[in-house]
Amino acid sequence: MTTPFTRDYGQADDAQLARWARDDAEAFGELYRRYVKKIYNYVFYRTNNHHDAEDLTARVFYRALAHIDSYTDRGVPFSAWLYRIAHNLVANWHRDNSRRQIVSLDEYIGNTLRSEAPEHVVEAGQDREALLEAIRRLPEDRQQLLILKYIERLPNAKIGEIMNRTEGAVKSLYHRTLLALREELAHYHHNPDKAETDDTSVQRE
Amino acid sequence: MEFVSHPHESRIADLLSDYADGVAPLETLLDRYNVSYQQVSELVDLADQLRSTLVEVSPSPQFVDGLLQELIGEQQAAALGWWSRIQAMPTRTKLAAGIGGITLTAGVLLITARSLSHLLGLTEREEAPGKAIA
């Protein structure tokens, strides 16, 4: 039987760490170190600003800590459990923020800088923004898939565990996601006019 | 040349997934799944755009370290929960609990002692008649 003094946190797998984490702060700390950047990335691309990404990332880990006793590795890896917490919190965040659209300072600064930059830089920036905007208009599961595939670089099997789908379903969803994005971008290029904001934070009803 | 027989859309889905995952160069995948470039060129370009747009971001070290300290503190406080609750009680409550505990313990000991001595007393009386006859 291991004690906190003999435990090798670095070598332990997630399931073992999760068991220890019920009464061992160091074990939970190790899990945190392994996943904080991944969860932050996931949340950042779902919210588009660092402030909310930090807030939601913290909430994810607080919730994980509060419910660590109820986690058991019955076919759901710890990473999948953590991503599901993140997914639910982000979904709630979007629901709570859907009425009021607040332009974050990041976006305002981005818009301002682009308007002062050389044309080719502006164009490349606009294409990037258009793509990010198109991604944010996708349904949540498709956004999640793109983040897990391109940022986390997870294989389809792992994505399937997190999203509770088969590998085949993940591939099919990815195909449909690309088709939907292509459509969104085509719509954007035909209607490039977007409302600009001229204040640091504007609430649109 | 590898050729995998699949329905058309399924082959395209497999190709796009493998391309995104960097399984093999595009030319190899086109051969493997028997798909022409024209059929997938737009989606392949889109996949390239996604690869260059969706890049990893880093949280600030201050945020990462600060949150870790908060979480560890939270975990340790929870582990000491019952003791912390006792420490937080008013002195009179702690005193009353202490006196009650001592009284209860003394009562249990007293009952136990009397039971033991009663048992011992019975044992001695049973031995006495034998000795008297002798």
User: What confidence tens digit (pLDDT) does each residue in B34-64 have?
Assistant: 999 999 999 999 999 999 999 999 999 999 9
Q: Please compute the mean of the pLDDT values over residues A80-89 and round it to a whole number.
A: 93
Per-residue pLDDT for B89 more than 90? no
Question: What is the torsion angle, in degrees rounded to the nearest 10, for the CA atoms of residue A145, residue A150, residue A151 and residue A156?
Answer: 60
Q: What percent of chain B has pLDDT over 90?
A: 46
Query: Is A49 a residue whose pLDDT tops 60?
Result: yes
Cα distance between residue A53 and residue A59, in whole Å: 10
Query: In whole numbers, what is the pLDDT of chain A averaged over residues?
Result: 82
**Which has the higher per-residue pLDDT, B38 or B124?**
B38
Which of A114, A115, A134 minimizes the C-alpha distance to A185?
Answer: A134
Alpha carbon distances (Å) from B110 to A189, B37, B96, B113, B115:
91, 93, 21, 5, 8
Show the domains of chain A with their CATH numbers: 12-102 (1.10.1740.10), 119-194 (1.10.10.10)
Q: Cα–Cα–Cα angle for A47, A51, A57, nearest 5°? A: 70
The nearest alpha carbon in chain B to A177 belongs to B43
On average, the pLDDT of chain B sits at 82
Contact A32 B68 (CB under 8 A): yes
Backbone angles phi, psi at A102, to 5 degrees: -105, 125
For chain B, the domains span 8-53, 89-134
Nearest to A151 among B17, B54, B59 (CB): B54
pLDDT at B75: 73
Distance, in Å, from the CA atom of A66 to the CA atom of A56, rounded to the nearest integer, reads: 15
pLDDT value, residue B36:
94
Q: Which of A28, A178, A46, A71 is nearest to B72 (CA)?
A: A28
User: If you ran DSSP here, which 8-state letter would residue A103 be given?
Assistant: P
Which positions in chain B touch A135 (Cβ < 8 Å)? 54
| 3-state per-residue secondary structure call for A77-100 | CHHHHHHHHHHHHHHHHHHHHCCC
User: Is B42's CB within 8 Å of A182's CB?
Assistant: yes
Residue-level pLDDT at A2: 63
Percentage of chain B beyond pLDDT 70 is 76
CA distance A57 to A59: 5
The pLDDT score that the predictor gives to residue B3 is: 46
* B6 compared with B14, residue with greater pLDDT: B14
Most A CBs within 10 A among B42, B43, B56, hence the mutation to make, goes to B56
Numbers of helices and strands, H then E, in chain A: 9, 2
CA atoms within 13 A on the CB side of B36: 2
Q: Do A65 and B71 touch (CB under 8 A)?
A: yes
- In this predicted structure, the answer to whether residue B1 has a pLDDT above a threshold of 50 is no
Q: Which of A135, A167, A175 should one mutate to test binding to chain B, selecting the residue with the greatest count of B CBs within 10 A? A: A175
Global confidence as pTM: 0.69
Q: Give the ipTM.
A: 0.75
More confident residue, A11 or B92: A11
Retrieve residue A139's tokens: 């349904």
**Stretch A18-41: mean pLDDT:** 93
Taking the C-alpha atoms of residue B30 and residue B15, their distance in angstroms, rounded to an integer, is: 7
